[in-house]
Homo-oligomer: A and B are copies of this chain.
Amino acid sequence: MEKPRAVLFDAYGTLFDVYSVALTAEQLFPGQGSALSVLWRDKQIEYTRLVTGSGDGEHYRPFWELTRAGLRYACKRLGLELSPTAQERLMNEYRHLSAFPEDREVLQALKAAGVTTGILSNGDPDMLGVAVRSAGLDGLLDHVLSVDAVRKYKTHPAAYGLGPAATGLAAKQIVFVSSNSWDALAATWYGYRTLWVNRAGLPFEELGTQPTRSGSSLRDVLAFFD
C-alpha cells in the first residue's frame, strides 16, 4: 500500500491534554477537580453533537461557547457555585492546555520525512491559534483546520472533508490521528487511515469498525512510514 502523504491530528485530547485543567479545578473545588474536568469534557462533546445533529447548522455555536456552556452545566450538576472569577480562570486554563510531551518530536520527525502535517479540530480558529502558539508548535504544522469553516462538528462528514480539501489528497492518503475513540472511528468510516492513540488503555468502540492502527502515544504514527 502506498505510504501516506499527510498526517492530520485531532487537537483536544490528542495534541493537548484536556484534563490538565483538573489541577486548577481541584484548587477551586477541593475533592471535585477530577469529576469536574471529566464531566466538563463529556458535556462539551455532547453539545457539539447536539448542535450539529439537530439541524443543518442553524444551532451551531463556536467551540469556545460550547466549552463555556459545558463548564456551567458541569458545575451545576456537581452542585458547585461557579463565580465569574472561577469561570474565567477555568476557561483561561482551557485556552492554554498542556501539550503532550511527544508532540514536538513527532511533528519534527514527520516534517523531516517530507510529510504534510496539520490539525483538524472542533476548536475554533482563535482557540487553536493560541493553543498552537502556547505549545510552540507553529512552524511544524502546514494546516490548522477548524470545523468552524463548515459550521458542523465532527463526526459530520463535512468536518472530516476539510482534510482532503486543504491538502488536495484523497482521505486514504492521509492518516488521521485521534485519542478520542469516537473520532478515530468516524474518521475511519470517512475513509482516512487512522491511528487511535489510546493513552488510557480504554476499550475501542463496539460498532464493528476498527481503526487502522492503535497505539499508546503519538509516536506510533511513525509506523505508517516504516
- A54 to B54, alpha carbons, bound, how many Å? 13
Interface residues on A, range: 20 to 34
- A157 to B40, alpha carbons, bound, how many Å? 26
- A182 to B72, alpha carbons, bound, how many Å? 16
Interface 0/1 of A54-71, CB less than 8 Å to B: 110001010000000110
Nearest chain B CB to A196 CB, angstrom units: 14
Nearest chain B CB to A182 CB, angstrom units: 6
* A49 and B49 contacting across the interface, CB-CB below 8 Å: yes
| Chain B residues whose CB sits within 8 angstroms of the CB of A189 once the complex forms | 54-55, 59
| Chain B residues whose CB sits within 8 angstroms of the CB of A50 once the complex forms | 155, 182, 185-186, 205, 207
| Chain B residues whose CB sits within 8 angstroms of the CB of A55 once the complex forms | 157, 189
Nearest chain B CB to A206 CB, angstrom units: 4
* B69 and A206 contacting across the interface, CB-CB below 8 Å: yes
Residues of A in contact with B (beta carbons under 8 Å apart): 46-47, 49-55, 59, 61, 69-70, 72-73, 76-77, 155-157, 182, 185-186, 189-190, 202-203, 205-207
